[in-house]
Every structure is written in C-alpha cells, then in structure tokens.
Structure 1
Amino acid sequence: MRIASLDTALYRIELPVPLSDSTHGTMTHFELVTVRLRDAEGAEGVGYTYTTGAGGAAVHALIDEALRHVLIGAEADRIEALWQRMWWKLHYGGRGGSVSLAVSAADIALHDLRTRRLNQPLWRALGGYDPSVPCYAGGVDLEFTLNALLRQTDDNLAKGFRAIKMKVGRARLSEDRERVRAMRAHLGDDFPLMADANMRWTVDQSIAAARAFRDFNLTWLEEPTIPDDVVGHARIVREGGVPIATGENLHTLHEFTQMISAGGVTFPEPDVTNCGGITVFMKVAHLAEAFNLPLTSHGAHDLTVHLLAAVPNRSYLEVHGFGLDRYIAQPMEIHEGTAIAPDDRPGHGITFDWAGLEKSRER
C-alpha cells in the first residue's frame, strides 16, 4: 500500500511546572512536532518528536519540505528502504541534530502505520518480549529546594514509581552530594536512585563527582560530560566507580557503536525521537545486547514502552514530566513501578487530542 498523504504540525506545549537542569536552565515549554501519514485506503500512522523549547521550526520544515517528497507515493511497508532514502536525502545538511529528529518522527509514523494495518500492538510486532517494563520517574528538578525535591519524590511514590532520578550539576559538588545523601536517606538503602548531570562537567570533574556519590549506591550517573568525548566517557566508567548512562544526545547508530565499543557507557540510553526513530532504536537495543549491556531510554515514554517491551535486555523506562499526558486519550499505565505496554490497541496506541493540540499550534 502506498502513502497518499502527509500532514505535519508544530506545537508549543506549556509545562505544568517549570523544569530545570544544568545545561538547559529553566524550561517553561517544549515543542512538539507531529507527522500523520495516510495510505490509499485511509489507514493512518502517527509519529512525533520534540525539542526542549527551540529548533522545532527547522525540524518541521525538513519534514514538510524534504521528507514529504520521499514519502508520498512510496510503499509504506518498505520502512528500511525509506529510512535510507530519508537519511541520505538530508545527510549532507547534517548527520544528526534536526535531521535525526525529522527522520525519527517520520520513521515512527511508518512503524505505527504498518502495525496498525497488521492490527498488532507495536511491542508484539517488534519482538514481543514482555509488556511489563520497569520504569522510573525522571525528575527535572535541579533548582528545586530540597524540601520541594522530597515532596516531588513522595508524590512520585504515591503514583506507583519504585525508582527515581534526580538532577545534579549545581554550582558546588558539595551541594549535589548533600542532595543525593538526603534522597538516599529519604528512600532507603536499596531503592533504585539515579542522578543526571546533563553534561555539566569535564571528564576530571565527572570522575570526582562519581567518586563523591559512590557511598550512595546510585543505579547510574547519567550524562556526566559531553556526548562527543568518547574517550573521556571510557575514563569515567573506569575511574569513577559508578555505572554510567548516556545516549539521549547521540543521534546516530554509529555514535552508539563508538560509545559502546569504547567502553564509555554502562546503560545505553537512546531517545527514539532523536536517534533515527524506531528503526535505529531497535538496532541500538540489539547492539547493546551483543555487548551484554542493559538498555534504558530517554523521553517519549508512551511510545518507548513498546520498544523496551520488545527486547530482553531492557532495564528501566524513563517516565518524563513533560505534560503530554493531557493530550493523549489513554496515557501509559503504571502499576507498582512497572509500565504496561498496551495490548488492546494496534500500533503504538497513542491517540492525540488533535483539537486540544490545535490551540497550541505554531504553524
């Protein structure tokens, strides 16, 4: 069946509560870019990507002005071939960045369209390992007071989370250490606790921070330094003494290959909306499995739960507080620390409130 139409839109989504980390500062909104593909029989597939508040117009334009010409009239189920055509269409203008976000959104829509036509949930079509996926609450809370951080933690526990991530990367390492200490005391010795630095430090600073946190039994320290420094990441893993998660800012399969093969990551962490879509996410998952590494994820939890449900080496699904749930008909369910990939809806099962989103449309 051939693709008959493509619609794309850009929305500004206001955050219910401003969020903060060490590199993006305070965030008041994010940008959502959606893709809707329909075939000649009217079947529809939906994909999306997002930014932390800037650059969405470029992603939208790449889809609307370039990828449209690749996809319209093409055979919808030849996803690998279409991925290659999209990638090489835009390759010269940037291997990663906005290009990867644009290709990701279109690729997600293609997989959704295919599995809706098959009348299969996405997680089953991709491998069908286990629909129950351990998850954690991903706090974006660097500038929260300690009391606010602990209140947020209690709210997340009440929602059913049994693993939690906090932000680090404040002006003084001693402040980070005290906040991690307070969280560990609040949660108990064995509760899964992660800390995320959002690329704040140099390699030597990262090693010092990792060593400062060793007494607190972190599940992982996330993105301690810039993703471009593969050799530096390997040093942090060797010398820091805590597991390292990274990958949300790696935008190609080749970047993941370099990081994993160099020993620079303990928990590879792709984001399906910026790594190249479902096609690349699943290749990263299998690459991690070949290196005997547990896989985690970043962002887009309603979609990513399907991808982690498909593979045996998944660890934790990140559940983000971006406030998209209010635009989704059936948000992801969480039961006692486990996210459930839906088995009663074909495709990824995400149904957007398009009328509600229209009020936030930018173009």
Structure 2
Amino acid sequence: MRQDHGGAGRHLAHPRRPSFDRSGAPVSTVESVRTDFYQVPLPVVLTDSTHGVIPHFELVTVRVTDSDGATGLGYTYAVNSGAEAFAVLVDRYLTPVLTGEDVDRTEHLWQRMWWALHYAGRGGHATSAISAVDIALWDLRARRAGQPLWRLFGGYDPRVPVYAGGIDLDFPIEQLLEQADRFRKEGFRAIKMKVGRASWREDVERVARMREHLGDDFPLMADANMKWSADQAIRTARALAEFDLVWLEEPTIPDDVAGHVRVLREGGLPVATGENLHTLYEFQNMITAGAVTFPEPDVCNVGGMTVFRKVAALAEAHNLPVTSHGAHDLTVHLMAAAPNRTYMEAHGFGLERYLAEPMQIVDGAAIAPERPGHGLTFDFDALEPHRVGGTT
C-alpha cells in the first residue's frame, strides 16, 4: 500500500514564492494541492429515511505538499452525489489562495479559504471543500512535528467510547439483529439503528425488538435522518421513551431550530443533531436555543479540524457532551483531545478496505493511533478503479 503523488488526478500548483518569518528564517510554504474524486461502491447496499438507497458514496481526497516535499492528506465525502463540486472548489478557488502561504498558519489559511468561498455558500459545498484542505493541513503540520494529531490537540485520552452506526432502515428484523451480533463481536459496546419507516409503529416495534435482543443496559441510539416534522417526532419520541435510548438523532430538519427545541422539551428523549450543520454559527444557534443535547459535527463538512475543535469547545462551554458523525478514522483524534467527548460514531462508509492500518476498536473504545499526523495511509492503487476524471 502506498500514498504517492503520481498518476492521473487534479494536481495544481503555482510558482513558489520564498517565505520568511519575522526573524528572516525561511518557513515551509504550500507548494502544490492535488485532488482526486472517486465513486466508491459499498460492500452492502444501505438505506436511510431521506437518502434512500445508497449503493456507493463519493469521496474526494486532497494532498497538500509543502516546499520541503512533505505531504498531508485530507478527505471529504458525500452521499450518492455532489462531491465532485468539492474537488472543483479546491482546484479552481482554494489552491490559488493557499499556494506560497506558510503551511503552519492553519487558522490564517482557514480564514483565507472561508472568505474566498464565502459569497458562494457560507456552508454546504464550500465548507466540505475547506474541510478536506484543512484536514490535510493539520495532518501535514502534525507530521512535520512528529506527533499524532490527538497529542498535538492536547491529548485528553486516546481511548474514545465508540458506537456502531448502522445504516439499516430496510433491513428485515432478523438481519438487523444479526448485524447487532456482528457489531458486538467486532468490539462495539453501543449501537445506533435507523428509524423513519412509513409507519412510526414499525419504528417502535423494531426498536422494541432491538432493546429486547441487546438487553436493558446496552447503549442504543436511534437515527431518523430528518424524516419527521416536529409534531411527528414528538409523537414517536414519546412512544420510544420506554426503551431508554441514549439519544434520538436528527428528528427533524436542521433548519427547524424551534422544532428541535420542542422535540427535546416535549418528546422525553435526549436529541443529537449536527451532521447537516455546516458552520460554527449554525451550531451556536442550535446550542444557545436549547435545541440539542449531543452536538454532532462531521469533520468533513463543518470546516475541518479547525472548526470541529471550536464546536467541541462551544459544547463544553454549555456543559454539553460532544459526539460526532462519520469519518471515524479522522475524528478519533479530535474526540481523544476533547474532555467533553461522549460516544463517537464508527460510520458505515468506513474506508477500511483502502487503509493500511484501520482504526482499532477494543472493548467498546476506539484507540487513537500514535503515528504522526492522523496516521492514515491510503491504498490509492486499490481506489484507482473508482476514480472519476483525470488531470486538470
């Protein structure tokens, strides 16, 4: 397995500009940025209540190389469609504002990227593109320092409680229970299942069966993927309350902050939300309104590691635990540095098949690696059949 810079792909650079600090000493600068876009088939077709059938996910990788020849790796993703736009934004608009800049000034570079794309989005595609670059920059910085990211970020605890994030809305009951047994054999001590079927009574029946199968004390979450109105969510939450869920996730659309407040106050269950919030300010609105129990950023769409850390700190300032969505092999570093962390999601879109050393799970905990940076080494040869497009 290898992480190289050859072959086809988007690989853009601008002329190098020597850079120096205030003492006159040379500093390492961004030399080039390469992006690659892939459509990655999933081993099992997955389903949820809003995205429907999910046969593959879209992946964009970003490799930032500095003037000393060192490289950092980042990535972002989308469900079914839209990720190619992230690559275009990185290529056409972010690379020019990064090239020649000091690679260690991650906050400065984040602000340059944010304002370069601000008028075009303030979130969504813009922050997904920024996320991939920001992750690569932090990886590069930590590799240069010879430290794993979780230590560079403060190093709270490398053992992070983890749950298995099932994407299983259309699984028959027996398949759902078999999956739960497999998760437990893999070392998970908490599980999330999907809800949001055509009838809320079906959801209640499926959660009841899972609770009976797992036992009273096993941590269980349910994820509606924004399926319901606030009134529907309240009704279903009340019906699910007897099953002692850790949380009900995304009960309604992320735009409905007032609806989230009602669900949390009237539904009788804790609420997790945030995978579809794309800025720090959206999290501030949700948290200060009292609309969420477990803020849930995704490092690949919220603005990267720079913003994820700010969301975790914002949650801590409001005495809230932080959880996460997706990209567990990256997120484990962020959660390992957050004193208010709770369960981290191990996501169904995992890249284990394309990684030299996938994340370890031991007795219900994900273990943050000691390798420099985030420690991921992609097998780009294995990904190559799924790459879309060529050199730009």
Q: TM-score band (shorter)?
A: over 0.9
User: Partner amino acid for 1:348?
Assistant: H
* Matched residue type, 1:360: H
Residue in 2 aligned with 1:162?
A: 189
The match for 1:272 is 299
Q: Could you tell me how far apart the structure 2 residues matched to 1:321 and 1:108 are?
A: 21
What does the per-residue CA deviation read over 1:290-309, in whole Å, with 9 as the maximum and x for residues that have no partner? 00001100000000000000
Give TM-score, length-normalised by structure 2: 0.92
The reply to whether residue 126 of structure 1 matches residue 165 of structure 2 is no
Rounded to whole Å, the distance in 2 between the matches of 1:6 and 1:58 is 16
State the distance in 2 between where 1:125 and 1:158 align: 32
Q: 1:296 aligns with which of 323, 331, 356?
A: 323
Counterpart pick for 2:239 among 187, 190, 212:
212
Shift of 1:57: 1.3
The match for 1:347 among 344, 363, 373 is 373
Deviation at 1:323, TM superposition (A): 4.2
Letter in 1 for 2:306: T
Match of 1:246 in 2: 273
Q: Secondary structure of the residue that 2:45 maps to in structure 1?
A: strand
Residues 277-320 of structure 1: per-residue CA shift (max 9 Å, x gap): 00000000000000000110000000000000001100011001
State the AA in 2 paired with 1:361.
R
Deviation at residue 342 of structure 1 after TM alignment:
0.3
User: Displacement of 1:207 after TM fit?
Assistant: 0.6
Q: Is the aligned partner of 1:201 residue 2:220?
A: no
How far apart, in 2, do the equivalents of 1:128 and 1:221 lie?
30
Q: Deviations over 1:172-194 (max 9, x none)?
A: 01100000000000000010000
Q: What is the RMSD of the two structures over their aligned residues, measured on CA atoms?
A: 0.6
Q: Structure 2: which 5+ runs fail to align?
A: 1-27
User: Does residue 181 in structure 1 map to residue 208 in structure 2?
Assistant: yes
Q: Could you report, residue by residue, the CA deviation over 1:323-363 in whole angstroms, capped at 9, with x for unpaired residues?
A: 410000000000011000001x1000010001111121002
Instruction: Select between 36-45 and 246-255 the one with higher mean Cα deviation.
Output: 36-45
Instruction: Report SS of the residue matched to 1:359.
Output: helix
Q: Deviations over 1:98-153 (max 9, x none)?
A: 10100000000010000000000000001100000000000000000001100101
Matched position secondary structure for 2:197: coil
State the partner residue of 1:65: 92
- The residue correspondences of 1:279-290 to structure 2 (distance < 5 A) are 279-290=306-317
How many Å apart are 1:67 and its aligned residue? 0.5
Structure-1 separation of matches of 2:349 and 2:263: 30
Aligned partner of residue 190 in structure 1, secondary structure: coil
Return the letter of the residue paired with 1:42.
Answer: G
Mind listing any 5+ residue stretches in structure 1 that lack a counterpart?
A: none
Aligned equivalents of 1:223, 1:321: Cα separation in 2:
17
Q: Residue type of the partner of 1:273?
A: C
User: Which residue in 2 is equivalent to 1:40?
Assistant: 67
2:257 is equivalent to residue 230 of structure 1: yes
> Residue 203 of structure 1 aligns to which amino acid in structure 2?
A
Task: Give, as a single letter, the amino acid of the residue that structure 2 aligns with 1:328.
Answer: L
The answer for the alignment partner of 1:356 in structure 2 is 382
Structure 1 segment 61-100 matched on structure 2, within 5 A:
61-100=88-127
SS of equivalent residue, structure 1 residue 136: strand
Given that 2:272 and 2:293 are in contact with CA atoms closer than 8 Å, whether structure 1 keeps it comes out as yes
Cα distance, 1:321 vs. partner? Answer: 1.7
The residue number in structure 1 matching 2:22 is none
Equivalenced residues, count: 362
The answer to whether the Cα contact below 8 Å between 1:237 and 1:244 also exists between their aligned partners in 2 is yes
Say if 2:82 is the partner of 1:55.
Answer: yes
State the AA in 1 paired with 2:74: G
Question: Which of 314, 323, 330 is the aligned partner of 2:357?
Answer: 330
Is residue 327–residue 350 contact of structure 2 (8 Å, CA) maintained in 1? no
Report what 2:3 is aligned to. Answer: none
Matched residue SS, 2:143: helix
Cα distance in 2 for residues equivalent to 1:242 and 1:198: 16
Q: State whether structure 2 residue 139 is matched by structure 1 residue 112.
A: yes
Task: Give the drift of 1:70.
Answer: 1.0
Which piece of structure 1 moves more, 190-199 or 320-329?
A: 320-329
Does the 8 Å contact 1:15/1:323 carry over to 2? Answer: no
CA deviations on 1:198-228 (whole Å, 9 max, x unpaired) are 0000000011111010000000000000000
What is the letter of the counterpart of residue 198 of structure 1? Answer: N
Q: Structure 1: which amino acid aligns with 2:367? A: I
Choose from 26, 49, 52 the match for 1:22.
Answer: 49
Q: TM-score, normalised by structure 1?
A: 0.99
Deviations 1:60-88 (A, max 9, x none): 10001110101111110111011011001
Aligned equivalents of 1:281, 1:85: Cα separation in 2 = 18
Alpha-carbon distance in 2 for matches of 1:5, 1:96: 25
